[in-house]
A and B are shown apart, each in its own frame.
Chain A
């Protein structure tokens, strides 16, 4: 991973929402990098801060009502301190976003092609016909059959999968460097999901961009991501290359998440849930945020916050107090259990 491939360097990103009930600690000290050709899978349950961190990066949070600290360095510039006009030039142009609900993101009264053409003219001073042409070309690229005539359709004439394709087309209008996909397939059926994930992968290769894929579905991450960040209660619990995180997960939360996932391979006698429920971000527990639900907690967990570090040089990053040999032993135990089942 050479440095000129590096697109995004996020350090200590922290997001706080002051509310009447107290301060919501939505994201705490999140650090990661994204390079060209990389798909970073951000996984976590609802309220883990995975969407908020991306909204913060995109500058889509109201700065007057949010406290954001840290650095988000994109091609040498800190997005968090950029003034709104400069940020607007980057957003939608160099960093584009695809959201979960493709129906809510398209205006129901405008033709799909016109909405994509509008995205073209938002950043480029081109005649309308050229913008329309670009819209048709992109709709064709993302696999909309008969694009010249379908561009004249309204969103309700598109199926869910086609709408999500149109959203991806819109995101690609200005050849962005980064594509942030927030739960891009959650609203779609499984056969359509497969099509969209393949499209995102194709687009990433063709345009040599970096993709951030936010999802709660570990299966989706396992199939598409090159690196994985596991979040819980606004913090990064584990972060490393995808193959390594899935082959040898290091954090008890990651184990819990993987074990509680219903498998399609065989029927289990009982599923293994994580007991309890995620903490309130108004008053997250002291120490490790996962300790109240962690079956392996010991002395330091309720008081000391574990740093995100590599326990041994060959391991990837995790935020857990357990000594390395203990993690290896527990990991092996998990592996044999899974093999037995």
Chain B
């Protein structure tokens, strides 16, 4: 185990898989598994923001928790800053913990209401035995746009946006290399959301931070992420830089997600309405997990042969047998992948000229 400080990648996930056992059936006799994260291979480069986007239950938060070893992987490796941390014990992990921090979604639940702001932000210093905490905490309060006088106040005295700033200050306390932000602005109003996003961006520049930013909101991800992983049912279905993903999505699921976002002030695009719901991760569909809802489903290929994440453009990969040739693309053409005989029954109401 050696530290490779010069490597371009701060974090490398290889074939990472996490399954949770669940009890099922009468008197919970049977056990089955939730396939939360399946074969995820990702890298996070130093100084970048990797956005992970997907709908609820797609495995994005589980992936984040695995990255920090808050969960133990079922299979696969996690390499952080050159160390393979996938099998380290909690004790062995402790010195590395200060290099990786997390910002949580709910600024109301993630701050202890009985501790002062000074105690909350100072806790990391105490845990790791760092001296001179009070001045550092006051500096941190200023860094995140609060006042040093807030040191002795309690969380309930702050608004949602201010609380999220406290959470950011706590994450910054030990000058970590990696900060995982799990839906950090989802609970905030839009005018406050922009304040926190701007703060995160400027801190990244100032302290050369690496972010993994998780969100269900495609607009927020567009504004914050350099590279983006789109997840569906535990799989990374598309991976690439922001420009490619948003301007030329290759995976039909990414395209459907993008077309579903309501937009203000711009011409409407034709919407790809996905029918049905996300299948259960306990019994994921065979081969390509998206095939039951995919407008490009090709019987005999998509339901038999699992697609690999493959390079489709210099900065873009997708896990699809019939990636989109271009974008935007009318729904009728999406249904006609080259060389594919589409077998899906006609989808009622899926086609809307708006």
* A and B co-occur in one complex: yes
User: A190 to B194, Cβ gap below 8 A?
Assistant: no
In the complex, how many angstroms separate the beta carbon of A200 from the nearest chain B beta carbon? 13
A256 to B194, CA, bound (A): 11
User: A194 to B273, Cβ gap below 8 A?
Assistant: yes
Q: Note all chain B residues with C-beta closer than 8 A to A270.
A: 198, 201
Q: Given A216-B189, A264-B246, A268-B223 in contact, is the A190-B161 Cβ separation under 8 Å?
A: no
User: Is A203 an interface position by the 8 A CB rule?
Assistant: no
| Top 3 A-B pairs, shortest CB-CB distance | A219-B262, A273-B194, A274-B191
User: Is A159 an interface position by the 8 A CB rule?
Assistant: yes
A-B contacts besides A258-B264, A258-B265, A275-B195, 12 pairs, CB < 8 Å: A45-B192, A190-B260, A191-B257, A193-B260, A198-B273, A217-B262, A219-B262, A222-B262, A223-B262, A262-B222, A264-B218, A264-B246
Binary flags per residue of B129-171, CB closer than 8 Å to A gives 1, else 0: 0000000000000000000000000000001011000000000
Give the residue of B216, B260, B264 whose beta carbon is less than 8 angstroms from that of A194: B260
User: Is B75 an interface position by the 8 A CB rule?
Assistant: no
Give the residue of A191, A197, A198, A257 whose beta carbon is less than 8 angstroms from that of B190: A257
User: A194 to B271, Cβ gap below 8 A?
Assistant: yes
Q: Note all chain A residues with C-beta closer than 8 A to B222.
A: 262-264, 266-267
User: Is B294 an interface position by the 8 A CB rule?
Assistant: no
User: A219 to B191, Cβ gap below 8 A?
Assistant: no
User: B191 to A189, Cβ gap below 8 A?
Assistant: no
What are 29 A-to-B residue pairs whose CB atoms are below 8 Å?
A45-B189, A45-B190, A143-B349, A189-B55, A189-B56, A189-B216, A190-B260, A191-B274, A192-B55, A194-B271, A195-B273, A216-B189, A220-B262, A223-B268, A246-B264, A260-B193, A262-B194, A262-B197, A263-B219, A264-B258, A265-B263, A267-B222, A267-B223, A270-B198, A271-B198, A271-B223, A277-B161, A277-B162, A277-B192
A66 to B162, CA, bound (A): 30
User: B264 to A218, Cβ gap below 8 A?
Assistant: yes
User: Is A105 an interface position by the 8 A CB rule?
Assistant: no
User: A273 to B260, Cβ gap below 8 A?
Assistant: no
Q: Note all chain A residues with C-beta closer than 8 A to B191.
A: 45, 256-257, 260, 273-274
Q: Note all chain A residues with C-beta closer than 8 A to B201.
A: 270
In the complex, how many angstroms separate the beta carbon of B162 from the nearest chain A beta carbon? 8
Q: Note all chain A residues with C-beta closer than 8 A to B106.
A: none
Interface hits, B269-287 → A, CB 8 Å: 271, 273-274, 277-278
Q: Note all chain A residues with C-beta closer than 8 A to B223.
A: 262-263, 267-268, 271
Q: Note all chain A residues with C-beta closer than 8 A to B220.
A: 262
A191 to B271, CA, bound (A): 10
A269 to B102, CA, bound (A): 25
Q: A-side interface residues toward B, CB under 8 Å? A: 45-46, 143, 159-162, 189-195, 197-198, 216-224, 246-247, 256-258, 260-268, 270-275, 277-278
Give the residue of A246, A277, A278 whose beta carbon is less than 8 angstroms from that of B265: A246
Q: Given A45-B189, A220-B262 in contact, is the A190-B268 Cβ separation under 8 Å?
A: no
Name A259's closest neighbour in chain B (CB-CB): B194
Q: Note all chain B residues with C-beta closer than 8 A to A265.
A: 263, 266
User: B219 to A261, Cβ gap below 8 A?
Assistant: yes
A241 to B188, CA, bound (A): 27
Name B275's closest neighbour in chain A (CB-CB): A195
User: B190 to A222, Cβ gap below 8 A?
Assistant: no
A273 to B195, CA, bound (A): 5
A120 to B194, CA, bound (A): 45
Q: Note all chain B residues with C-beta closer than 8 A to A192.
A: 55, 277
> Please, how many residues of chain B have a CB less than 8 angstroms from a CB on the other chain?
43
Q: Note all chain A residues with C-beta closer than 8 A to B161.
A: 277
In the complex, how many angstroms separate the beta carbon of A79 from the nearest chain B beta carbon? 30
A219 to B259, CA, bound (A): 12
Give the residue of B192, B195, B265 whose beta carbon is less than 8 angstroms from that of A222: B265
User: B265 to A191, Cβ gap below 8 A?
Assistant: no
In the complex, how many angstroms separate the beta carbon of B34 from the nearest chain A beta carbon? 16
Name A272's closest neighbour in chain B (CB-CB): B194
User: A221 to B264, Cβ gap below 8 A?
Assistant: yes
User: Is B352 an interface position by the 8 A CB rule?
Assistant: yes
User: Is B70 an interface position by the 8 A CB rule?
Assistant: no
A278 to B198, CA, bound (A): 19
A35 to B293, CA, bound (A): 38
User: B55 to A191, Cβ gap below 8 A?
Assistant: yes
Interface hits, B214-273 → A, CB 8 Å: 216-220, 222-223, 242-243, 246, 256-258, 260-266, 268, 271, 273
User: B261 to A219, Cβ gap below 8 A?
Assistant: yes
A271 to B200, CA, bound (A): 11
User: B219 to A262, Cβ gap below 8 A?
Assistant: yes
Give the residue of B55, B256, B263 whose beta carbon is less than 8 angstroms from that of A219: B263
In the complex, how many angstroms separate the beta carbon of B344 from the nearest chain A beta carbon? 15
User: A262 to B263, Cβ gap below 8 A?
Assistant: no
User: B189 to A190, Cβ gap below 8 A?
Assistant: no
Interface hits, B53-72 → A, CB 8 Å: 55-56
Q: Note all chain B residues with C-beta closer than 8 A to A159.
A: 277-278
Scoring B190, B216, B223, B271 by chain A CB atoms within 10 A of each residue's CB, the highest score goes to B190
User: B216 to A190, Cβ gap below 8 A?
Assistant: yes
Q: Note all chain A residues with C-beta closer than 8 A to B352.
A: 198
Give the residue of A256, A271, A275, A277 whose beta carbon is less than 8 angstroms from that of B197: A271
User: A219 to B264, Cβ gap below 8 A?
Assistant: yes
A191 to B58, CA, bound (A): 13
Q: Note all chain B residues with C-beta closer than 8 A to A247.
A: 265
Q: Note all chain A residues with C-beta closer than 8 A to B192.
A: 45, 273, 277
User: A223 to B260, Cβ gap below 8 A?
Assistant: no
User: B264 to A273, Cβ gap below 8 A?
Assistant: no
Name B247's closest neighbour in chain A (CB-CB): A266
In the complex, how many angstroms separate the beta carbon of B78 from the nearest chain A beta carbon? 28
A219 to B189, CA, bound (A): 14
Scoring B217, B246, B263, B271 by chain A CB atoms within 10 A of each residue's CB, the highest score goes to B263
A197 to B162, CA, bound (A): 33
Q: Note all chain A residues with C-beta closer than 8 A to B258.
A: 264
User: A273 to B218, Cβ gap below 8 A?
Assistant: no
A135 to B162, CA, bound (A): 47
